[in-house]
Amino acid sequence: QVQLVESGGGLVQAGDSLRLSCAASGRTFSKHAMGWFRQAPGKEREFVASISWSGGTYYADSVKGRFTISRDNAKNTVYLQMNSLKPEDTAVYFCAAPALAGIGPHPQYEYEYDYWGQGTQVTVSS
């Protein structure tokens, strides 16, 4: 059974940093793109960042220059380093992976992903 488990969320102040982790189990995703999404209260889930199997990255305009996605294929884990956090970054953050290795290189739509984590809450106070 495939599982994606996010961790690293929390309550921080504006300007602080957080590093989210997403550990995958049940299969290896070393040849798959991986992505991060977020959902703020009362809003639809939105794309944040993706990373191709070879390490190429793609970001939503709202986080470009502040967030960095990375991966460690040996650990089957993807990360999201979030710097200069803003109150508008408050959301539940989800990692996701497609079932097929050929999806990508930078999938940014929910329908392109098949596996989802349960999410981790990030709250940024002003």
Mean pLDDT, residues 73-96? 97
Coil, helix or strand at residue 98: coil
**E strand spans, 1-126:** 3-7, 10-13, 18-25, 34-39, 46-51, 57-59, 67-72, 77-82, 91-97, 115-116, 120-125
Question: Rounded to 5 degrees, what angle do the CA atoms 11, 16, 55 make?
Answer: 100
Average the pLDDT over each of 42-46, 83-87, 94-98, 106-110 and give the range with the smallest value.
106-110
The residues that bridge with 22 in the sheet, in sequence order, are 6, 78
Q: Which residues pair with 115 in a beta bridge?
A: 97
pLDDT tens-digit map of 51-76? 999 999 999 999 999 999 999 999 99
